Structure 1
Amino acid sequence: MSELETFLKEKTTEIVGKMGLEAEVSLSQEDGQTVLEINPDKEEDAPLLIGFHGATLNAFQVILGTLAFKKFGKFEPFLVESGGYRKEREEEIRARALEAADKAKFLIKEVSFPAMNASERRIIHLTLEKEKGVRTESRGEGRERHVVVIPEGLPQKDVK
């Protein structure tokens, strides 16, 4: 295990403990990316580690990434996961993106998603980039940034 991986595992265990939880923390490599898996000892604690739409996992990602950068002076990409949540969420977003594309084409009307973080918006853009008859745009600022699915033929709006 590398020095970074040891550091990530120790800090994660420390933070989880400060949350009053116990969990098994493990590291693996998937598709060339380091995955930090946090599995709570008690199944009922899983929602506390995941948070609403993965908000707690995202917070772990930011905090651990910042701590690692401060310690090692460089950014090493890794993904924080718990119980396969991120994979399930990605599949759900892909399915919703395809449904939105069908709806936009059928109604010849824009279909908007609620505000999402950058990685979730990216999933929609990548899912629909080769879908015929629609295009996607991100609109809004900051926490209100969201994806709009636009059927062919509607004019493009100015995007900030």
Structure 2
Amino acid sequence: MKQLTVTAKTVEGAITQALQELNTTRDKVDVVILQAPSRGILGFGARQATVQVTKISDPIWEAEHFLRELMLAMHYVVTVSVEKKGTDVYMEIKGDNVGQLIGRHGQTLDSLELLVQTVASKNNDRYLRFHLDIEGYRQRREQTLIQLAHRIADKSIVLKREFVLDPMPAHERKIVHLTLERRNDVRTESRGTDPKRTVVVIPIVNTSSVRSRGV
């Protein structure tokens, strides 16, 4: 939170000066008049206006501004779209060669998302969960994981043994768990610790068995 106390001849003059120093606009600040101006009597007792101006934190603006500045510093020309749904904020980057920022299995993208979340959460009281995507990668990755989950489940049934998938972040493990919990021939569980925590697909006979354990 940024706050300034400014003194000027008039209240509006003090507010204008504060807005310039905070590099913001009137609708993005709270203003408290600490002292009203007075001309005094016969020139005696005259006083200037003093106001306290506090910049209102906007986590969505902070996140978008940070992301645009970061892309500019990395020499990427991009567009950033933002959509808010409840406490979830979905941001997507589009532009030339931005696919390089996805990384192996989205690891670089996950790191960028964490940075955005950290910046947005700093000095902000209301909780928002930020989801970052690049050129629709998240949706494509989800479909890939769903197909992988079913393919491994089928192999597990045919070969009658469990299969251990490659390590995945929590949100990807959740996709696999949710995909396979609809089946009555396999169950899943997570093993290990991050960042090497993985999903294990296990064939079952008893359909009343526990569907999944852990994320």
Q: Same fold (TM over 0.5)?
A: yes
* Matches of 2:161 and 2:204, distance apart in 1: 9
- 1:37 paired to 2:89: no
| TM-score normalised over the length of structure 2 | 0.65
More strand by share: 2
Q: Are residue 27 (structure 1) and residue 79 (structure 2) matched?
A: no
Q: List gaps (5 residues or longer) in structure 2.
A: 1-56
CA change 1:125–1:82 in 2 (3 A) is same
Q: CA deviation at 1:33?
A: 3.6
Say which SS state the counterpart of residue 34 (structure 1) adopts.
Answer: strand
Post-superposition shift, 1:116?
A: 0.4
User: Could you tell me whether the CA contact under 8 Å between 2:146 and 2:176 is conserved in 1?
Assistant: yes
Give 2:12's aligned residue. none
When the two structures are aligned, how many residues end up with a matched partner? 154
Percent of matched pairs sharing the same residue: 34
CA distance in 2, matches of 1:31, 1:148: 33
Task: Supply the distance in 1 between the matched residues of 2:86 and 2:125 (Cα, whole angstroms).
Answer: 24
Q: 1:56 aligns with which of 108, 111, 126?
A: 108
Q: Are the counterparts in 2 of residues 27 and 36 from structure 1 also a CA contact under 8 Å?
A: yes
Bigger relative contact order (CA 8 A; separation at least 6) = 1
3-state SS in 2 of match to 1:144: coil
Of 67, 84, 93, the match for 2:145? 93
CA distance in 1, matches of 2:135, 2:149: 23
Per the TM alignment, residue 144 of structure 1 is displaced from its structure 2 partner at its CA by: 0.9
> Which residues in structure 2 correspond to 1:11-160 (within 5 Å)?
11-29=66-84, 33-40=88-95, 42=96, 45-153=97-205
**How far has the Cα of 1:22 moved from its partner?**
1.8
1:47 CA displacement: 2.3
Which one has a larger percent helix, Structure 1 or Structure 2?
1
Computed over aligned residues only, the root mean square deviation of the Cα atoms, in angstroms, reads: 2.5
**1:68 and 1:75 in contact (8 A); partners too:** no
Q: 1:9 aligns with which of 57, 61, 64?
A: 64
Contact 1:25 1:38 in 2 (8 A): yes
